[in-house]
């Protein structure tokens, strides 16, 4: 009944927004349009020529558990929010940006207690509202310096946009593109909002006592080959996980349509205990309206964790870990029957290599997107995560810390509006 009410509210929002629903080209999610450049005149003109943008969402989220065994409360919420941003035009290379982030519960369909576990409201189900971005940027030639609250776009540190709000960082970054087909970025991160910004603030000590330093690079100088890499170092001796390393490659194979092969490597270096390693591979191609892919991931020796990202080919739900040593196989099928509609089906089988059996499950995932017009689209996501019998037995044996995890289903409807 509640899901029906939520669907009605979202449908009403779409109708009020106006416009005929007709298939169109998919909306490509890109960075907001850069404001006009002002190299002379007054600072007031730079402000006048700045640009306001809005990336708004109506978001319904429902997570249900196997209540017969766990008794764990389901998590459900319906909210409206997103990002309203102003970015000035450039004035002698300088510009600044300010953005308000928010997520507000819609109506009284669901209680704040029900929304507390959805990560689209705060930990206690409270509304989210804070200054998410506040940065100063300087561009000269192929070099960019950006300091302040900002989104990042590196392999292991990115906006991790899985709910209504992304993750945001207090950071200083220096990016250079002088080398042809190459981007190099170095940065320092002091604090960040955490997963989906549900903390409603920038958190102290989330990056260790002294923050994190990183270097990231990408290269496309070889035809058909894309390379990325990142190294992150924790600038403190009290952080058990001392560093993060990651690299991946994608090569377009010279046959078929959009045929490719990917490979990835990751490592966490620990101050105590064995380091962890990640190896992964993915291969795919397109046949008419169908795109298919097979994937593999292997984590060895210790738990693996990205700082705030989802680099693993086999992970569609969390993207930040920590993940047990495990072996994963899976596949994906994407269908694009006409312009504007994309439907992805995914399946993965993850087998834990530790006695805890937390990451020991199969998961089915559906992700459907439909472009309504040039400023809005709707997305439906559904996943079924089924833990192994052995994992469930540990989870429900009544012994604290004995491992295992409960089954869960996630259902999401997101209506996007971008202005």
> Could you tell me the CATH number of the domain that includes residue 241?
2.40.160.10
Matching residue, tokens 């080209």: 25
| Separation of alpha carbons 240 and 265, rounded Å | 21
**pLDDT value at residue 73:** 80
Concatenated DSSP letters of 286-298: EETTEEEEEEEEE
Nearest 5°: CA angle at 223, between 220 and 26?
70
Over residues 336-365, the mean pLDDT reads 95
Minimal CA–CA distance to 258: which of 283, 286, 281? 286
> How confident is the model over 40-57, as pLDDT tens digits?
568 889 899 999 999 999
How far apart are the C-alpha atoms of 119 and 191, rounded to whole Å?
A: 19
Distance, in Å, from the CA atom of 333 to the CA atom of 414, rounded to the nearest integer, reads 21
Quick check: 191 and 168 in contact, CB under 8 A? no
Q: Element (H or E) spanning 115, and its range?
A: helix 112-115
More confident residue, 34 or 236: 236
Whether residue 305 has a cis bond before it, omega within 30° of 0: no
Both structure tokens of 239: 């952080």
Its pTM stands at: 0.85
59: CB partners within 8 A, 6+ apart? 77, 78, 79, 80, 81, 103, 120, 163, 164, 412, 413, 414, 415
Q: Is the preceding peptide bond at 322 cis, omega within 30 degrees of 0?
A: yes
Q: Report CA dihedral (394, 397, 403, 406) to the nearest 10 degrees.
A: 70
- Whether residue 247 contacts residue 264, with contact meaning beta carbons closer than 8 Å, is answered with yes
CA distance 290 to 277: 33
If one counts the domains in the chain, the total is: 1
Residues 281-333 have pLDDT tens digits of 999 999 999 999 999 999 999 999 888 877 899 987 666 678 999 999 999 99
Domain that holds residue 138: 2-418
Q: What is the pLDDT of residues 181-196, one digit of tens each?
A: 999 999 999 999 988 8
* Percent of the chain topping pLDDT 90: 64
- Residue 413, both tokens: 């409807």
Q: How far apart are CA 196 and CA 217, in angstroms?
A: 25
Q: CA 225 to CA 348: how far, in whole Å?
A: 27
pLDDT of residue 29: 41
pLDDT at 317: 65
- What tokens does 252 get? 């377009």
SS3 call for 389? helix
> Could you give the CA distance from residue 184 to residue 244 in angstroms, rounded to a whole number?
17
Phi, psi of 249 (to 5 degrees): -145, 145
Q: Find the DSSP H helices in 220-261.
A: none
For residue range 134-152, list pLDDT tens digits in order: 999 999 999 999 999 999 9
Q: Count CB-CB contacts under 10 A for residue 205.
A: 12
What gap in Å lies between CA 172 and CA 177, rounded to an integer?
17
């Amino acid at each position: 009944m509640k899901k029906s009410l939520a669907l009605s509210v979202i449908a009403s929002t779409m109708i009020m927004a106006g416009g005929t629903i007709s298939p169109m080209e998919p909306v490509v999610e890109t960075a907001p349009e850069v404001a006009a450049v002002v190299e002379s005149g007054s600072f007031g003109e730079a402000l006048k020529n700045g640009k306001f943008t809005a990336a708004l969402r109506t978001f319904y989220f429902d997570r249900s558990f196997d209540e017969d065994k766990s008794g764990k409360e389901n998590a459900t919420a319906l909210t409206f929010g997103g990002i309203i941003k102003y970015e000035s035009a450039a004035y002698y290379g300088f510009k600044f940006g300010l953005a308000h982030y928010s997520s507000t519960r819609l109506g009284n369909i669901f209680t704040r207690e029900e929304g507390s576990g959805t990560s689209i409201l705060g930990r206690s189900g409270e509304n989210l509202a804070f200054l998410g971005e506040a940065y100063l940027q300087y561009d000269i030639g192929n070099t960019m310096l950006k300091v302040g609250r900002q989104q990042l776009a590196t392999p292991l540190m990115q906006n991790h946009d899985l709910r209504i709000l992304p993750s945001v960082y207090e950071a200083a970054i220096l990016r250079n593109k002088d080398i042809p087909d190459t981007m190099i970025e170095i940065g320092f991160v002091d604090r960040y909002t955490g997963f989906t910004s549900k903390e409603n603030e920038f958190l102290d000590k989330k990056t260790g006592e002294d923050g994190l330093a990183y270097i990231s690079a990408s290269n496309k100088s070889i035809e058909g080959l894309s390379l990325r890499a990142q190294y992150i170092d924790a600038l403190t001796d009290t952080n058990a996980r001392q560093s993060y390393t990651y690299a991946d490659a994608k090569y377009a194979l010279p046959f078929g349509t959009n045929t490719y092969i990917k490979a990835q490597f990751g490592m966490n270096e620990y101050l105590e205990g064995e380091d962890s390693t990640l190896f992964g591979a993915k291969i795919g191609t397109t046949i008419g309206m169908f795109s298919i892919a097979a994937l593999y991931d292997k984590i060895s020796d210790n738990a693996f964790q990205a700082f705030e990202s989802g680099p693993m080919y086999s992970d569609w739900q969390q993207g930040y870990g920590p993940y047990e040593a495990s072996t994963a196989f899976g596949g994906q099928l994407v269908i694009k029957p006409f312009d504007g509609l994309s439907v992805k089906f995914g399946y993965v089988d993850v087998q834990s290599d530790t006695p805890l059996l937390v990451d020991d499950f199969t998961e089915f995932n559906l992700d459907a997107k439909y472009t309504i017009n040039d400023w809005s689209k709707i997305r439906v996501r559904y996943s079924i995560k089924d833990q192994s019998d052995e994992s469930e037995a540990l989870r429900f044996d009544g012994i604290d810390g004995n491992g295992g995890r409960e089954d869960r289903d996630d259902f999401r409807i997101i209506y996007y509006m971008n202005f």
